[in-house]
Amino acid sequence: MKKIINITMLIFMGVLLFGAGNQEKVSQQPAEQTISVTDSFNRTITLDKPAVRIVSVAPSITETVFALGKGNLLVGRTDYCDYPPEVSSVQSIGSLMEPNIEKIADLNPDIVIASTHFKKETLEKLEKLSIKVLILKEDKSFDGVYTTISDIAKITGAEKEGRTLIARMKKTVKDVEQAVKGKKRLKVYYVIGFGERGDYTAGGNTFIGQMITMAGGINIAAAVKGWTFSLEKIIESDPDIIICSKYWNTKKNFIKANGYKELRAVKENKVFEIDNNMLDRQGPRLADGLEALAKIIHPESF
């Protein structure tokens, strides 16, 4: 009888221990957590799980989603989202400033991710339709791109890919800064717009202005806040190098335009073209844009 009791007790204790072990394992499993991101307007956007249907309302956002390996999640993009080439198969929802609300609603997105040019009226219309909108405006500093990438990585469930992408970008930045270290700094003017409609460049408080410095140049518009400049100021500053977009025949038109064709840099054939999308868009190609910029300013370092 005593042996039977002992055996029964052992079985009972085994069941308790096995059950306790299972309970411990269950309690150690992480509970499902919501995803929360605070956007540029200090709005907290929350999702129950990573988004699987995304509408992008900015080229920089589109490029970031693809760079994270999540391009398959994009169901909508703007007319201006042209990189990478695969994006052409994604339906367009219109322009940056005036996206088509009905098209966005028909796409039934988990979230709409927008940037600098997104209007408040558009936000309000989408919110009335119970569509979640995350607005990630371009930061004034270069490092702001890392925050944007991290936020999009979080929303798409690609945080590991986001860390890898950021690490790769930071290495490129470090390599560029090391390459131009100690080099003579040349005066640089970056052309965004020129002519009758006015002169536009990257002021000292912009991330592109910061990139000129990082690339080993002196931004002649460093004292300016924002993007507005003038031909008079360009002439007065007498840049060593002028950099403009490789698109829209910008260089061809610039070097022939009255006033601009008299600049020393133009006469000395120091006007260079660059893929401005790598600079203007605060996205995953920004580090590559920095390298391209540095190669123009200090070709001897590469």
CATH number for the domain including 204?
A: 3.40.50.1980
Say yes or no: 154 and 206 in one domain: no
In a domain, 14, yes or no: no
Per-residue pLDDT tens digits for 79-122: 999 999 999 999 999 998 899 999 999 999 999 999 988 999 99
In a domain, 204, yes or no: yes
Say yes or no: 44 and 132 in one domain: yes
In a domain, 6, yes or no: no
Q: Give the pLDDT score at 17.
A: 33
Q: Helices (H) and strands (E) in the chain — how many of each?
A: 12, 12
Average pLDDT over residues 120-137: 95
Say yes or no: 209 and 104 in one domain: no
Say yes or no: 40 and 153 in one domain: yes
How many whole angstroms from its chain centre is CA 115?
9
Say yes or no: 122 and 50 in one domain: yes
Work out the angle at residue 49's Cα, subtended by the Cα atoms of residues 70 and 108, and round it to the nearest 5 degrees: 70
In a domain, 257, yes or no: yes
Say yes or no: 191 and 92 in one domain: no
Per-residue pLDDT tens digits for 156-193: 999 999 999 999 999 999 999 999 999 999 999 999 99
Average pLDDT over residues 133-139: 92
pLDDT of 244 strictly over 90: yes
d(C-alpha 58, C-alpha 277), whole Å: 12
Per-residue pLDDT tens digits for 192-234: 999 988 999 999 999 999 999 999 999 999 999 999 999 999 9
Kindly give the pairing relationship between strand 111-114 and strand 54-57: parallel
Say yes or no: 137 and 89 in one domain: yes
pLDDT of 6 strictly over 60: no
Say yes or no: 113 and 67 in one domain: yes
In a domain, 250, yes or no: yes
d(C-alpha 201, C-alpha 194), whole Å: 9
Asked if residues 128 and 74 have their Cβ atoms less than 8 Å apart, the reply is no
H or E element, residue 190 = strand 186-190
pLDDT of 32 strictly over 70: no
Say yes or no: 139 and 106 in one domain: yes
The last residue of a domain, from among 112, 132, 162: 162
In a domain, 2, yes or no: no
In a domain, 288, yes or no: yes
d(C-alpha 270, C-alpha 167), whole Å: 34
For the entire predicted model, the pTM comes to 0.85
DSSP state string for 216-282 = TEEETTTT--SSEE-HHHHHHH--SEEEEESSTTHHHHHTTSTTGGGSHHHHTT-EEEE-THHHHS-
The last residue of a domain, from among 94, 128, 162: 162
Q: Is the bond leading into 59 cis (omega within 30 degrees of zero)?
A: no
The range of the structural domain enclosing residue 295 comes to: 182-301
pLDDT of 236 strictly over 60: yes
Q: What is the mean pLDDT of the chain?
A: 89
In a domain, 1, yes or no: no
Average pLDDT over residues 130-141: 93
Say yes or no: 135 and 187 in one domain: no
Asked if residues 218 and 186 have their Cβ atoms less than 8 Å apart, the reply is yes
Say yes or no: 191 and 279 in one domain: yes
Region of 120 please: left (phi>0), alpha (psi -120 to 50) or beta: alpha
What total of structural domains would you count in the chain? 2
Say yes or no: 134 and 186 in one domain: no
Return the closest-CA partner of residue 282 out of 292, 290, 274.
290
DSSP type of residue 49: S
Which residue's structure tokens are 């558009």?
122
Percent of the chain topping pLDDT 90 = 84
The last residue of a domain, from among 162, 193, 213: 162
